Amino acid sequence: MTFKLEAFEGPLDLLLHLIDKNEVDIYDIPIKTITDQYMEYLDLFQELELDITSEFLVMAATLLSIKSKMLLPKPPVIEMDWEDGMEDPDLDPRAELVRQLMEYKKYKEIADQLREMEEERSHIFTREPADLTPYVVTVKENPVEGLLPADLLLAFRRALRKMASRNSVARIRRDEISVKERIRQVMRQLKREGGRVLFSRLLEDGFSREEVVTTFLVLLELMKMKRIVCFQHRLFDDIVIEAREDGSAVVPESDVTDY
């Protein structure tokens, strides 16, 4: 059981209290005085009917043993080599007690420092870290940073040139040809060619996509009206367009689909 009386705890704390009270050197303890005062404290514990732990009794026995050794006459000094494990008779009987007191004093001072630090820390209150990103001041990047007036002038001139090219308007005229007109052209060409012509000859160089499509539609329309016959001599060979013998070179406009 650990108990506390006044300003000390345990036997070593009581010894330090007696040493400080008597203002003596810890390395030269007046063992008789300290032992007598220590025993007085033990008698006080018994009067107050306090349980004395075995540590206090062991320390009392230790002090009495040191006191008896201090009272005994010292034997004559004999020089000899001491082996390990053998006790030197000239060794001060108080040395072990002093060592224990110094160790206890050191740890007691450290404990006092930790207690003071704990007391200071108890007055500090902490909280979990919060996200302070919304409060960070952000500086917007300058889009023209590093540019010189000459660079801005050059960019302005390029913009003016682009605007000038955008304002120019080009008029494109689309050449349109109807199926009726193209039928007349094909029939006239068949007449000139003797009633037979190759499809490739119907397409002149520079024909647009619309003119090629219109020519195909013309051939389909003439075959539907049974004015021409289209065939090939071999697969993928040029298409041969031939006018029918009973067909007329002039196609009535009423027979042509208007598109």
d(CA 130, CA 235): 82
How many Cα atoms are found within 13 Å in the side-chain-facing hemisphere of 227?
A: 21
DSSP state of 196: E
The per-residue pLDDT for 82 is 46
Residues in contact with 197: Cβ distance below 8 Å, sequence separation at least 6, in sequence order: 189, 190, 240, 241
Q: From residue 201, give the alpha-carbon distance in Å to each of 118, 136, 235.
A: 108, 79, 19
pLDDT in tens, the chain (259 residues): 544 455 457 788 888 888 888 887 877 788 888 888 888 887 777 766 555 667 777 888 888 888 788 777 766 655 555 454 444 545 777 888 888 888 988 988 898 899 999 998 888 888 888 888 888 888 888 777 777 888 878 888 888 888 776 666 666 666 677 888 889 988 998 988 888 888 888 887 777 788 888 888 888 899 898 889 988 888 888 888 999 876 554 455 555 555 5
Using CA atoms, how far apart are residues 193 and 198, in angstroms rounded to an integer?
10
Counted residue by residue, the chain has a size of 259
Closest CA to 202 of 174, 238, 233: 238
H-assigned helices in 168-207: 179-192, 199-202
User: Around Cβ 197, how many Cβ atoms within 10 Å?
Assistant: 20
Taking CB atoms within 8 Å and a gap of at least 24, the contacts of 207-212 are 208/175, 210/176, 210/177, 211/177, 211/182
Q: How many CB atoms lie within 10 A of CB 186?
A: 22
CATH 1.10.10.580 fits 179-255, yes or no: yes
* 87 vs 77: CA distance, rounded Å: 14
By CB atoms closer than 10 A (0-12, 13-18, 19+), residue 225 is: middle
In the chain, what are the domain boundaries?
4-71+91-121, 179-255
Q: Helix, strand, or coil here: 240?
A: strand
Give the pLDDT of residue 135. Answer: 85
Tell me how far apart the alpha carbons of residues 94 and 98 are, in angstroms, rounded to a whole number.
6
18 CB-contact burial (10 Å; exposed 0-12 / middle 13-18 / buried 19+) = buried
Residue-level pLDDT at 86: 46
Q: Which two tokens stand for residue 3?
A: 């108990």
